[in-house]
Structure 1
Amino acid sequence: MAAVAPAAVRPGPRAWFVLAILCFVYVLNFLDRQLLSILAKPIQDDLGVTDGQLGLIGGLYFAMFYCVLAIPVGWLADRTNRVKVLSLACGLWSVATAACGMASTYPQLVLARMTVGVGEAGGVPPSYAIISDYFPSGTRGTALGLYNLGPPIGAALGVAFGASVAAAYSWRLAFIWVGVIGLVTAAVVWICVREPRKGGLDVPPAGDRGMHVDEPAPGFRETFKAFFANPVLRGMSLACGATQFITYGVLNFTVLLLMREKGMTLEEVAVWYALLVGVGVAGGMILSGRLIDRLAKRSRTAYAYIPAVGLALAIPLFAAFVWADSWQLAMVFLFLPTGLNYFYLSPAVTLVQEEVRPNQRVLSGALLLLVMNLIGLGLGPTYLGAASDFFMATHPDNSLQMAFYTLIPFYVLAVAMFLMLARTIRRQAEQEARP
């Protein structure tokens, strides 16, 4: 486990500059990923795809490459220059995003989205590790919480930008413009971000050679076994996977639900849903990061209790959002769950970065994402799209609403898994305290 850096060590202006650049890269990462769901209605009208096909392309097909390739990319980044890996990945997914706007058939769109997944596999894990080497322990929860503003900002910008461009021009132009912006950003990362010393802000306990930062990175097998042999890391990964099953399913189909079944237009989506996503999710990210930095010092069970409480509070409000018969009322009920659903991410990322050795951080972050995204990203949208197709025969006017109702039991499952994780963390702490 990483030792806490001295209280005197504080991140300087350079660290905050790098954090801002990496956060913007994450914004583009998530914006590229969410454009498909934001523009689902015009894409369906143009290419004639079903809800189930949209679920597959936004879920399983994308996740197969995004999740699996994150492992070798993480292994490579732990041994090479993480900044260059991130820059090259950003360039690749940006080219693939532009290619999505040129697809004229469903198979072509699938191929382009799979390539986006290949590129995005090299985005988040290297960034987690770079940030952890710019910010000392005790500030990482806040730093990673700010970095994790990438998804809400990306989703909000994606909604506002994508819907506006699609309404004024076409959905294809939105993909192409975002791809061009990503290529410019990749060059900025290559030129402006310096590779930090791995573990340079971690102070090893006396006599602990395991924390020496100049030692070569452990092998893939050693890191893999250590990660999944740790019951805390294993439990956190699975609990987050159950949560992302909900969040990715909701993200991929909320715009379609609001437009097709609750009467919202693209222009209204571009304003009101963009604001809701940006403010709601960003608030959840910032608040959970701050809570972790404060409460985890008292008890490490906070890493599990904070997500559990957030999800439990979200359940009745989410049910009311699905029930609402107008988009205005639905937006009122959706605001708080939008933030509460993301109370898990900052605690999860911070726990993994604190729990492992500095030269294992990229691969360990990739392993966390592997489990979370194979379950959540791979299965959540795929399930929800298939459920909507299933209900189409009996509920043709509100098949998506019926599918959304079926996510409520998954909320309960995720809360239970985080409560089990809290018990595991408590037991581990008791074992470590024994003489």
Structure 2
Amino acid sequence: MPMTRASNPWVVLATLLFIYIFSFADRYLITGLVGPIKAEFGVGDGTMGLLMGPAFVLLYVVLGVPFARLADRWSRVRIIAIGCLLWSCATAATGLATSLLDLSLARVGVGVGEAAFVAPAYSLLSDYFRAERRGMAFAILGLATYIGQIAGQGGGPAIAAHFEWRSAFYLMGGIGVVLAIVALLVIREPERVSSGGRTGVAMPFMALVRALGATPAYVWMMLAFACGALSGVAFGYWGPELFARSYGLDPVVAKTTFAVNFGLSGIIGMLSFGAISDRMSRRGMVWPARLSAIAVGAATMAILVATWADSFAVARLLAIPAGLLGGGWSVGFLATLQYILPGRIRAGATALFLSVTTLIGFCVGPWAVGVISESLGNDIHSLRIALSVVIPFGFLAALFGWLASIKVERGRAALDALDEALSVRVRSTAAAG
């Protein structure tokens, strides 16, 4: 049977980028509309932190690994399209919520759909781009974080100011449905061949967990990514509200300014880091992880200072280094992760990695800030203190990332050997049959 002709890699990347943009826009939309949602449902910072974090993340984490395991055997394109359709419908349903329970269930639905995207998408791009080009490909995909932030945190309040907050959820959800259809039409599933030369056979889950747990490069990188996400996501989710409370600005102006200033510098940082990562990877794949470790440490210092900035002008100025450094650090870790993972386990291992890091970063971070802030008074001072508790975890990310870089080549060799052993076992079983 002839192989299906692959799509143009850049068309694939562009399509995934647009889908991912609206994935992040859906996540950040609720952070830009904290004020009107709190007012309508009569809740405090703790409840909003719950909606931003656990309500979205728990099933996202639980289902991420099963979706990715399925992606190691079945069509990644179909999984991505189905997931996009699900989270888009759930986003639209958020606008229909009439109670706190409705709102929570809609956010859970968004998490269920988005669980089907990240690991299959990175696995798909790894088949379309060679290792020395993946840093830039991942950086371009990573632009979704900041473009989606601008769309959600800036566009959401703007739409709410002219119509109502619910209209923003209807619009984002409708666009997502269209993108799900586009993905099915323009992306073809490429042929996948692992190091053993066979596809469609997945490693047993617990064997995969044990193998990854015994690989220091994977474990250190997971811890680095988790702590970096805990720090950065907490600031990214609560920063717009911090701006609105701190400087006496109109909420639309404050939140749009936050999203645009941090978002635009983050876009530049992401692209720059992708190019530098690809260049440094030619010297050895330890360098992308080392660059990430340095960047996340410096970005953490920048956002910590921005949290306590005594003027709007200073906070905007600090957005430049914070965005440039914070925009790129994830790229090196993700490129290094894909480098050490064999094709047979790539989607599953990536999903396991992202499940742990998402649980810590996207669940614990926003929720912890909200709970601490509400317990201390629900005002500007309580929010600053809460952020100052959570943000410094980024310094641990820098340490763990550097430790991961030391073990990269050894980790790749160990996982390749394991993959080859599994391949031999599969061939032996097939021959015996």
Whether these two folds match at TM > 0.5 is yes
State the partner residue of 1:272: 257
**Which moves more between the two structures, 423-432 or 250-259?**
423-432
8 Å contact from structure 1 (residues 159, 269) kept in 2: no
Local SS of the residue matching 1:406: helix
Instruction: Give runs of aligned pairs for residues 228-377 of structure 1, distance below 5 A.
Output: 228-269=213-254, 271-377=256-362
Write the distance in 2 (CA, Å) between the matches of 1:295 and 1:366: 26
Cα distance, 1:215 vs structure 2: 6.0
| Aligned mate of 2:176, from 144, 160, 182 | 182
* 1:212 partnered with 2:197: yes
Per-residue CA deviation, residues 33-78 of structure 1 (Å, 9 max, x unaligned), is 1111111111111111211111111112221111110000001111
State the partner residue of 2:395: 412
**Which moves more between the two structures, 313-322 or 31-40?**
313-322
8 Å contact from structure 2 (residues 240, 255) kept in 1: no
8 Å contact from structure 1 (residues 25, 185) kept in 2: yes
* 1:421 partnered with 2:404: yes
**Which moves more between the two structures, 217-226 or 124-133?**
217-226
Write the distance in 1 (CA, Å) between the matches of 2:414 and 2:137: 30
Cα distance, 1:308 vs structure 2: 1.9
Give the partner amino acid of 1:282: I
8 Å contact from structure 2 (residues 288, 332) kept in 1: yes
CA change 1:423–1:132 in 2 (3 A) is closer
Cα distance, 1:299 vs structure 2: 3.0
**Which moves more between the two structures, 62-71 or 220-229?**
220-229
Cα distance, 1:283 vs structure 2: 1.8
8 Å contact from structure 2 (residues 72, 200) kept in 1: no
Write the distance in 1 (CA, Å) between the matches of 2:414 and 2:380: 56
* 1:398 partnered with 2:381: yes
Give the partner amino acid of 1:343: G
Gaps of 5+ in 1: 1-11, 203-209
8 Å contact from structure 1 (residues 90, 182) kept in 2: yes
Write the distance in 2 (CA, Å) between the matches of 1:430 and 1:333: 41
Q: How many residues are matched?
A: 410
Write the distance in 1 (CA, Å) between the matches of 2:180 and 2:364: 30
Local SS of the residue matching 2:8: helix
State the partner residue of 1:3: none
| Aligned mate of 2:8, from 8, 14, 18 | 14
Write the distance in 1 (CA, Å) between the matches of 2:187 and 2:98: 37
8 Å contact from structure 1 (residues 240, 344) kept in 2: no
Instruction: Give runs of aligned pairs for residues 53-202 of structure 1, distance below 5 A.
Output: 53-199=47-193
Local SS of the residue matching 2:128: coil
Q: TM-score, normalised by structure 2?
A: 0.89
Cα distance, 1:430 vs structure 2: 11
**Which moves more between the two structures, 53-62 or 73-82?**
53-62
**Which moves more between the two structures, 23-32 or 356-365?**
356-365
CA change 1:13–1:112 in 2 (3 A) is closer
Per-residue CA deviation, residues 297-324 of structure 1 (Å, 9 max, x unaligned), is 2233223321221123234432331122
8 Å contact from structure 2 (residues 218, 411) kept in 1: no
Cα distance, 1:268 vs structure 2: 1.6
**Which moves more between the two structures, 332-341 or 178-187?**
332-341
Give the partner amino acid of 2:385: M
Give the partner amino acid of 1:414: A
CA change 1:333–1:358 in 2 (3 A) is same
Local SS of the residue matching 1:149: helix
Write the distance in 2 (CA, Å) between the matches of 1:233 and 1:431: 11
Per-residue CA deviation, residues 143-178 of structure 1 (Å, 9 max, x unaligned), is 111111111111112223212101111111100111
Give the partner amino acid of 1:242: C
Cα distance, 1:397 vs structure 2: 4.5
Write the distance in 2 (CA, Å) between the matches of 1:40 and 1:147: 27
State the partner residue of 1:384: 369
Cα distance, 1:28 vs structure 2: 0.8
Write the distance in 1 (CA, Å) between the matches of 2:392 and 2:257: 28
8 Å contact from structure 1 (residues 73, 122) kept in 2: yes
- Pairwise CA RMSD of aligned residues? 2.2
**Which moves more between the two structures, 165-174 or 56-65?**
56-65
Give the partner amino acid of 1:368: F
Write the distance in 1 (CA, Å) between the matches of 2:256 and 2:33: 14
Write the distance in 2 (CA, Å) between the matches of 1:355 and 1:400: 40
Write the distance in 2 (CA, Å) between the matches of 1:316 and 1:182: 36
| Aligned mate of 1:32, from 9, 26, 29 | 26
8 Å contact from structure 1 (residues 97, 178) kept in 2: yes
CA change 1:301–1:139 in 2 (3 A) is same
Gaps of 5+ in 2: 1-5, 416-433
Give the partner amino acid of 1:398: H
Write the distance in 2 (CA, Å) between the matches of 1:387 and 1:353: 36
State the partner residue of 2:428: none
Cα distance, 1:427 vs structure 2: 6.8
8 Å contact from structure 2 (residues 13, 137) kept in 1: yes
**Which moves more between the two structures, 182-191 or 269-278?**
269-278
8 Å contact from structure 2 (residues 232, 391) kept in 1: no
Write the distance in 2 (CA, Å) between the matches of 1:314 and 1:249: 13
Write the distance in 2 (CA, Å) between the matches of 1:370 and 1:85: 17
CA change 1:120–1:431 in 2 (3 A) is closer
8 Å contact from structure 2 (residues 230, 391) kept in 1: no
8 Å contact from structure 2 (residues 81, 180) kept in 1: yes
CA change 1:380–1:198 in 2 (3 A) is same
Q: Which is richer in helix?
A: 2
